[in-house]
């Protein structure tokens, strides 16, 4: 049964402390979902455009959620079965530091060793999958490392939006204040 309905298009405009449009590119945000069963799914990265706006499609949300779940670190229920409550949040530097440190450690610790012919035949498809993940994470490390958030002194994540996605919608529009 579907309990979370992802809008077809999500538009977010960030405002400064004076409610003026915050025209800043590469601001990184994420979407936090709350599981009814099993574990929450964190969906990111989404970056603002040169006007400081976010236009996120349902397809992008589903793709990012699938990437998160594919790591297989924990057990997840389908995204659509999550609670309809969502949070859209600004990534603070503490979270960015944890993410970057974790992936740098994982990517640096990949040991190159000689494999037997049997290992090569049995594990070829897994090695291909790991190579794809490695390539994607190297690209994403650049996104997380170079985002505008890194230039701020905001250490903690900031919840920009609390909402309920409990019915199908073509478009959701938000204006959120980011205290810079």
pLDDT in tens, 3-28: 999 999 999 999 998 999 999 999 99
3-state secondary structure 34-103: CCCCECCCEEEEEECCCCCEEEEEHHHHHHHHHHHHHCCCCCECCHHHCCCEEEEEECCHHHHHHHHHHH
Structural domain boundaries enclosing 170: 9-177
Query: For residue 116, what pLDDT is reported?
Result: 66
In a domain, 80, yes or no: yes
Query: For residue 125, what pLDDT is reported?
Result: 66
In a domain, 54, yes or no: yes
In a domain, 173, yes or no: yes
At 71, is the pLDDT very low, low, confident or very high (cuts 50, 70, 90)? low
Cα–Cα dist 77/35, whole Å: 7
CA-wise closest residue to 82 among 159, 169, 5: 5
- Find out whether 86 and 32 touch, Cβ atoms under 8 Å: yes
How far is CA 146 from its chain centroid? 15
Q: Which residues contact 50 (CB under 8 A, 6 or more apart)?
A: 23, 25
Q: How many domains does the chain have?
A: 1
CA distances from 52 to 55, 92, 121 (A): 10, 17, 48
Query: For residue 169, what pLDDT is reported?
Result: 97
Whether the predicted pLDDT of 111 surpasses 70: no
Whether the predicted pLDDT of 37 surpasses 90: no
Counting DSSP H helices and E strands in the chain, the numbers are 3, 7
At 74, is the pLDDT very low, low, confident or very high (cuts 50, 70, 90)? low
Query: For residue 119, what pLDDT is reported?
Result: 60
Provide the percentage of residues in the chain whose pLDDT is more than 70.
Answer: 87
In a domain, 61, yes or no: yes
In a domain, 3, yes or no: no
- Find out whether 91 and 29 touch, Cβ atoms under 8 Å: yes
In a domain, 2, yes or no: no
At 115, is the pLDDT very low, low, confident or very high (cuts 50, 70, 90)? low
In a domain, 1, yes or no: no
Provide the percentage of residues in the chain whose pLDDT is more than 90.
Answer: 60
Query: For residue 132, what pLDDT is reported?
Result: 79
Query: For residue 128, what pLDDT is reported?
Result: 76
Residue 64 sits at the vertex; the CA angle it makes with 127 and 149, to the nearest 5 degrees, is 110
In a domain, 17, yes or no: yes
Query: For residue 112, what pLDDT is reported?
Result: 53
């Amino acid at each position: 049964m579907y309990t979370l309905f992802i809008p077809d298009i999500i538009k977010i405009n960030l405002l400064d402390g004076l409610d003026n449009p915050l025209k800043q590119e590469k601001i990184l945000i994420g979407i936090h979902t709350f599981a009814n069963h099993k574990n929450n799914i964190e969906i990111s990265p989404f970056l603002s455009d040169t006007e400081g706006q976010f236009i996120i499609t349902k397809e992008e949300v589903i793709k990012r959620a699938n990437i998160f779940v594919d790591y297989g670190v924990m057990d997840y229920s389908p995204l659509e079965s999550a609670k309809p409550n969502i949070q859209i949040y600004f990534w603070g530097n503490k979270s960015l530091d944890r993410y970057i440190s974790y992936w740098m450690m994982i990517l640096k610790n990949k040991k190159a060793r000689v494999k037997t012919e049997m290992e090569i035949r049995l594990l070829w498809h897994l090695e291909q999958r790991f190579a794809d993940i490695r390539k994607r994470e190297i690209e994403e490390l650049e996104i997380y490392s170079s985002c505008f958030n890194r230039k701020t002194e905001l250490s903690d994540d900031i919840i920009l939006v609390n909402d309920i996605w409990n019915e199908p919608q073509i478009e959701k529009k938000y204006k959120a204040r980011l205290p810079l």
